Amino acid sequence: MTTSKTGKLIVFSAPSGSGKTTIVRHLLSKEELNLEFSVSATSRDPRDYEIDGKDYYFMSLKEFKQHIKNDDFLEWEEVYRDNFYGTLKSEVQRIWNEGKHVIFDIDVVGGLDIKNIYPEQTLAVFVKPPSVEELKIRLKKRQTESDERINMRVAKASIEMATAPQFDKILINNDLDIALEDAYQLVKTFIDEKK
């Protein structure tokens, strides 16, 4: 049996459409970084292409609230009404037990919560789009949401962008290839530091 150990926590937060998921997937493909993705829990219904335990741990609203009551979450948030998202403490421990570092693709509130709980072990990176206008263009190109939903995300993005200075690093995703290389260097340097 593996004994409990701790690794580092790499947090990527950004407004929707900034490219953080693409960056996180790129970093996960780099074996030398020894990263594993932290699967979040959510009370929302799965989308057609999503797999329970891979994309999210899907649970009912009642189950999610029971986990809150049991203090099972490292962080959690009600992002939209009755739509909860959170990081189970057991998920982080599972990854640490495998001797790996945890990487998160998480909203700004959750990202800052993790940084506050583990200030020394966490690298918190805010991925910033070149502008809110560019963000709107990227969201429209996805063709996955209504204009109303896109406008809601853009309004939320303006609020989220104001939190950027609270993160350790701000990564501007103007050119994806450069952003991927910058993200790799940030993470590699942080992992290689002895704490």
Give residue-wise pLDDT tens across range 131-144: 778 778 877 887 77
Highest CATH level, class, for 9-192: alpha beta
pLDDT computed for residue 59 by the predictor: 97
Other Cβ atoms less than 10 A from the Cβ of 51: the count is 10
Q: What is the pTM of this model?
A: 0.87
Nearest to 28 by CA among 190, 180, 131: 180
- How far is CA 33 from each of CA 75, 89, 124, rounded to the nearest angstrom? 24, 22, 16
In order along its 195 residues, the chain shows pLDDT tens digits of: 334 457 999 999 988 778 899 999 999 999 999 999 999 999 999 988 899 999 899 999 999 999 999 999 999 998 878 889 999 999 999 999 999 999 999 989 999 999 999 999 999 999 998 777 877 887 788 777 788 878 877 888 888 888 999 999 999 998 999 999 999 999 999 999 875
Give residue-wise pLDDT tens across range 130-185: 777 877 887 788 777 788 878 877 888 888 888 999 999 999 998 999 999 999 99
> Exposed (0-12), middle (13-18) or buried (19+): which is 190, by Cβ within 10 Å?
buried
pLDDT computed for residue 195 by the predictor: 53
Nearest to 24 by CA among 118, 81, 104: 104
**Where in the chain are the domains?**
9-192
